[in-house]
Structure 1
Amino acid sequence: MIVTTDNTSLILESNEPNVNKVIADLSLLASKSIGELVTAYPNLLIFPAHFEDNEDDIASRPTFELKVNEFQTVLETGNVMGFIGVKDTQLKIQSRFARASVIDSDAQSNQEEVIEEDYFLHYMLQKVLCINLFDLKHSRNQTNLFDFLVYLFPYFLKKALSQGLYKEYQKKTYNDSNLKGTIDIKTHVQRNLPFRGNVAYSVREHSFDNPISQLIRHTIEFIKQQPNLRGVLHSDSETLDFINLIVQHTPSYHARDRYTIINTNRKPFVHPYFMEYSGLQKICLQILRYEGLKYANNDDKAHGILFDGAWLWEEYLNTLLHPIGYDHPTNNTQQGGIKVYVQKLSGNNVRRYPDFIKDSRIILDAKYKRMKNNEINRDDLNQLLSYLFLYKASIGGYIAPSETTNLDLKMGLLNGFGGSIYKFKLAIPQEVTSYQAFKNAIAENETKLINAIKELSSEKSNNE
């Protein structure tokens, strides 16, 4: 297993064991965009799920790249985090804010074990996806991919069942006096002679007890067998209600049918209405196939779960800014945004979607990537300037995560129409001993950030 962080370069040392095998395996995935990966490997889970229409062009960005020269091979990552693997190799990309934690090993070895606690990634997922996380105690000597999958299961369950309990036509066989389908002559002769009033027959009828609901039921029963993780099934009343609904409508469940159900669900689920069941099917299969996700030698299929850091950071900031009056236009739902042309003479009028806007006068842009020396990338600056021009806004700014302290910096005054540019940084706690301590510390930093942003409204009023 290769462990690295986002927006980082990692040298794959030539003297490391199996390094050539690692490079060969990762080469199957390197430089492929998220859009290419999810097309080639439909079992991959991607966040955001609807990335195709994202204005930041998430679909075209590579998960990682391998740059090879005659001396060394360098693995370079971007904003994507998560787990991905193929064949014998697993790649774990943590947030760059993950920090090492030392735990005691067993007494016989008399050694300490170091694991990486990625509190920040867990925290953003908890805020954005409304999932409940516990102590985050990871199993030793293995990736916590399985933990992630189980934590996310209630999220997918609730999204899918919010569309209703799925039902489909199933062939049912009966042997009774209520004939309503096609007579099964062979079975009827075997079971009902001499004739006693019953008829063997089969009929197609809508049923909630189908391969998809059975897959969900098997996943629920499998999670119940995990002592440290089964608590996610009781994380809230809605999850518990949906689980009871699945159990109630899968009377034919039997544990011995698990592999049959998995094989029945090998084909990706597609339905014009029950679209959210596609993600639920994927995560159920990954949980149930977890042993198989250790990427056997003959398996060229990639598996895993990936999070786009830019999207996650933006959605996390929305949980902070929406309560203080900021709108969050979204390209994939075509909500918000502004037309570029007042009147377009040919074709459709294109729109632009700032990350956050308030009263058409303050525009803020979320930036997850590294922003060094308080400088602003040329393309990022041009993008923000275009937003300010289109909205005739007077204040613009960037919000980025930081390993140091909170920052509230006025970059300067603009020529032309005038206005100000700001740069905000949210400090991500580093020296913490537990997840709860991390949550307490970052909550204080969030308050400082919100207060600094609130002051923009007073500056806008003064400018007017």
Structure 2
Amino acid sequence: MNNRQLEFYFKDYTSYVELIEGRDGQGSIIEQESPEFRAFEIVVKEKIKPSKLMANVTETGFNYQDKLTLIEFETFSSKSLFETKGLVGVLKVKDVLVDLEDGESHVFDVKITITSRFDQEKPYFLSYMLSYENPNFSDDFFTESSEESLLAILLLFLFKKQLQEAFRQGMFKTYQRNENNDDRVKGAINVARHIQKNMIFNGKIVYNTKENTVDNTLNHLILHTYDYLKSRFPEVTVRHIDCDNEMRTIIKSLKEATPFYFTNNRNKVLMKSMTPLSHPYFTKYEVLRKTCIKIFRNLGVSAFEGKEDVVNGLLYYIPDLWENFLLHNYRKYFLKEDFVVQTANKINIFKGNDGKNFRKLIRPDFVFYRKDESPFFILDAKFKPKWYDVTANGRSLNSVYDDYLQVINYMVSFDTEAAGVIFPTNNGEILNNEFNISPYNFKSKFYSFEVVVPVGDCTYKAWTNKFKQKIEQSMSKISKVIKREEQKKL
């Protein structure tokens, strides 16, 4: 009997008091006493703990396990409250067993989709952020006229990126055993098979060979994955694989080097591909193998006879994508300026008279340096919408106070006289971006910069054109402030 399918859709960094089954919150409300609600609880509290996510979710570059919290779940006065965190993507959990007090049991397959809260009908913002994850990937990745889901977008994106990285190690080769039946013997004769096939002398001999070849199971799996994606999502596959020179060369090279690749033996290839690779050189291909398997699993191909992982999915930490997107734009817009912007600047702070070294490590997101290599401006990437309420609408600083103290700490530690935050918002432009620190410090300044994310029902091309205009406006604001701050202490 097939398990009941449950689907839940959420936005990142958002709190919920009701659980709704269905697309984008348009489905039915689930009562807390129901087995469906209990299945969701089991998934959140037991099945997707950080350690399990690290082991079972396709690798997407997580560096810190504390980022792997998908949903926080608490209960107050018999009412459940849950809040999503910074992970976006799709997660599937199979065979969630719910035992009820009356002895009845239910088994569910639960699918959780989390998109950016800055996206409306389509995941435009998330797709645009992903385009900066890999410099070789174009910013028009999403195709608004096709019907691919967020999962399909993420899977195709990851497949392309990992195949490019793996192919730079060269074509994967491994030893393959082949049975031959001809008159050019160059291996061990298989007597039993020879008698079976060649009862009457015909000049042929059955023999086995072992050859180090590109025409192997893994490369067949890669081609099957490409063909499958193209059949499921033809428009986006043609645009971003077939029309990409590097990818087109890779696929063509693989097909030319694998004469025994057949499109009708996919299930056989999938079953043979379940064993992990242990090659000491072709390390990138093991990562790619896992992604190919997950593409077939996540998109519904049943060829694994119950051997699937219980937890399966694809997740990204969106604040990291946001930070990478900003760095890319800083380097683009400030390329010809006299100052330099750097990321991942790590320094240790707090040294006492006991002679011990500085003990606490800090890492601001972006540090701007003059030509003499002295820092003069700190800018930290934030992803909290409350920053707009604080800096544009005059709301209390309490909601972002920890962020504020962190940035002030960076400013003091790097001995700059200016620092600030930059964040996305669906709201309008902030008129006043400059703030004083305190009645005793009018010399140092705190700045707030917004990047307006367009809203409204439009095509992806129209959306990206609007967004690029908003990015340019933000970069222009930052440039004016930076040039002013750069002249201080000279």
| Same fold, judged at TM 0.5 (above) | yes
State the match for 1:107 in structure 2. none
- Is 2:327 the partner of 1:321? no
With over 3 angstroms needed to count, the CA separation of the structure-2 counterparts of 1:120 and 1:202, relative to structure 1, is: same
CA distance in 1: counterparts of 2:309 and 2:218, whole angstroms: 26
Cα 1:274–1:424 change in 2 (3 A) is farther
**Structure 1 residues 168-187: Cα deviation after superposition (integer angstroms, max 9, x where no partner):** 22223334565554332323
Greater shift, 422-431 or 410-419, is seen at 410-419
Shift of residue 161 of structure 1?
1.4
The question of 1:399 aligning with 2:426 is answered no
- Deviation at residue 79 of structure 1 after TM alignment: 1.2
Distance 1:68 1:370 in 2: 25
SS at match of 2:246: helix
- After TM superposition, list the pairs within 5 Å mapping 1:72-151 onto structure 2: 72-87=79-94, 88-99=109-120, 116-129=121-134, 130-131=137-138, 132-137=140-145, 139=147, 143-151=149-157
SS of corresponding position for 2:111: strand
- Deviation digits for residues 5-28 of structure 1 (CA, Å, limit 9, x no counterpart): 111112335983587343333334
Give the letter for the 2:464 counterpart. Answer: K
Which amino acid in the other structure matches residue 29 of structure 2? E
Q: Tell me by how many angstroms 1:59 deviates.
A: 4.3
Q: Secondary structure, in 3 states, of the residue corresponding to 1:282?
A: helix
Q: Which amino acid aligns with 2:327?
A: N
Amino acid at match of 1:123: Y
Query: Which letter maps to 2:343?
Result: P
Q: CA deviation at 1:443?
A: 0.9
* Closer/same/farther in 2, CA of residues 254 and 28 from structure 1, 3 Å limit: farther
Tell me if structure 2 keeps the 8 A contact 1:165–1:208: yes
Deviations 1:252-286, CA, capped at 9 Å, x for gaps: 11223211221222244455443333442233223
Instruction: Go from structure 1 to structure 2 and tell me whether the alpha carbon gap of 1:270 and 1:91 turns closer, same or farther (over 3 Å shift).
Output: farther
Three-state SS of the structure 2 residue aligned to 1:83 is strand
- Structure 1 pair 36–270 and aligned structure 2 pair: CA distance change class (3 A): farther
Given the superposition, is the C-alpha separation of residues 442 and 190 from structure 1 closer, same or farther in structure 2, using an over 3 Å criterion? same
How far apart in 1 are the matches of 2:481 and 2:413? Answer: 19
Identity of aligned residues (%): 25
1:367 partnered with 2:374: no
- SS of 2:407's partner is helix
Give the one of 384, 404, 407 matched to 1:384. Answer: 407
Find the aligned partners of 2:278 and 2:42 in 1 and give their Cα distance.
27
Change (3 A) 1:207 1:176: same
2:434·2:448 contact (CA, 8 Å) conserved in 1?
A: yes
- Corresponding position of 2:36: 22
Map 1:164-313 → 2, pairs under 5 A: 164-176=170-182, 179-191=185-197, 199-226=205-232, 227-231=234-238, 232-269=240-277, 271-289=279-297, 290-292=299-301, 301-313=310-322
Say yes or no: does 1:411 pair with 2:418: no
Are 2:351 and 2:357, in contact at CA under 8 Å, matched by a contact in 1?
no
Contact kept, 8 Å, 1:12 with 1:72, in 2: the verdict is no
SS of equivalent residue, structure 1 residue 400: strand
Match of 1:103 in 2: none
Gap change, CA 1:282 and 1:136, over 3 Å in 2:
farther
**One-letter identity of the residue aligned with 1:412:** N
Equivalents in 2 of 1:253, 1:161: separation in Å? 18
What is the CA–CA distance in structure 2 between the aligned matches of 1:63 and 1:92, rounded to whole Å?
A: 11
User: Where does residue 4 of structure 2 map in the other structure?
Assistant: none
Question: Match of 2:471, as an amino acid?
Answer: E
Equivalent AA in structure 2 for residue 392 of structure 1? D
Q: Give the whole-Å Cα distance in 1 for the aligned partners of 2:426 and 2:413.
A: 33
Q: 1:449 aligns with which of 471, 474, 485?
A: 474
Cα distance 1:444–1:253, how it changes in 2: closer, same or farther (>3 A)?
same
C-alpha contact 1:176 1:197 (8 A) present in aligned 2: yes
Deviation per CA, 1:111-134, whole angstroms, max 9, x where unpaired?
A: xxxxx2222112212233324425
CA RMSD in angstroms, aligned pairs only: 3.6
Shift of 1:63: 0.7
Q: 1:135 to 1:172 in 2, by over 3 A?
A: same
Whether the 8 Å contact between 1:413 and 1:420 is mirrored in structure 2 is yes
CA distance, structure 1, for counterparts of residue 54 and residue 65 of structure 2: 14
Between the two proteins, the alignment pairs up a number of residues equal to 432
CA distance in 1, matches of 2:400, 2:465: 32
Retained in 2: the 8 A contact 1:403–1:428? yes
In structure 2, relative to structure 1, the CA distance for the partners of 1:72 and 1:433 (3 Å cut) is same
Contact 1:395–1:460, Cα closer than 8 Å, also in 2: yes
Task: State the shift of 1:244 in Å.
Answer: 0.7
**Aligned residue identity for 1:30:** V
Residue type of the alignment partner of 2:241: L
In structure 2, distance between residues paired with 1:417 and 1:264: 69
Give the residue type in structure 2 aligned to 1:45.
T
Mapped to 1, the partners of 2:200 and 2:309 lie a distance apart of: 57
1:54-89 residue CA offsets vs partner (Å, 9 max, x unmatched): xxx354541112333454333310111111122332
Instruction: Give the Cα separation in 2 of the matches to 1:150 and 1:314.
Output: 22
Q: 1:329 to 1:230 in 2, by over 3 A?
A: closer
* Alpha carbons 1:2, 1:90 under 8 Å: kept: yes
Change in 2 beyond 3 A, CA 1:411/1:183: farther
Q: Deviations over 1:122-181 (max 9, x none)?
A: 221223332442532354xx9542344235432232122122221122223334565554
Superposed counterparts of 1:43-62, under 5 Å: 44-47=57-60, 49=61, 51-52=62-63, 57=64, 59-62=66-69
Q: Which moved more, 1:310-319 or 1:360-369?
A: 360-369
Partner of 1:104: none
- Opposite residue 416 of structure 2, the aligned amino acid is A
Cα distance in 2 between the residues matched to 1:155 and 1:199: 45
* Structure-2 change in CA distance of 1:463 and 1:279 (3 Å): same
- For residues 311 and 290 of structure 2, the distance between their equivalents in structure 1, rounded to whole angstroms, comes to 13
Assess if the C-alpha contact under 8 Å between 2:411 and 2:419 holds in 1: yes
Residue 25 to residue 261, structure 1, CA distance change in 2 (3 Å): farther
* Deviates most, 428-437 or 59-68: 59-68
Which structure has more RCO (C-alpha within 8 Å, separation ≥ 6)? 1
Letter in 2 for 1:254: F
Q: Secondary structure at the match of 2:83?
A: strand
In structure 1, the residue matched to 2:98 is none
How far residue 315 of structure 1 moved from its aligned partner, in angstroms, is 0.9
Instruction: Work out which of the residue numbers 161, 177, 190 in structure 1 matches 2:167.
Output: 161
Deviation at 1:441, TM superposition (A): 1.1
Q: Which runs of 5+ in 1 are unaligned?
A: 100-115, 331-335
| Distance change in 2, residues 1:125/1:446 (3 Å) | same
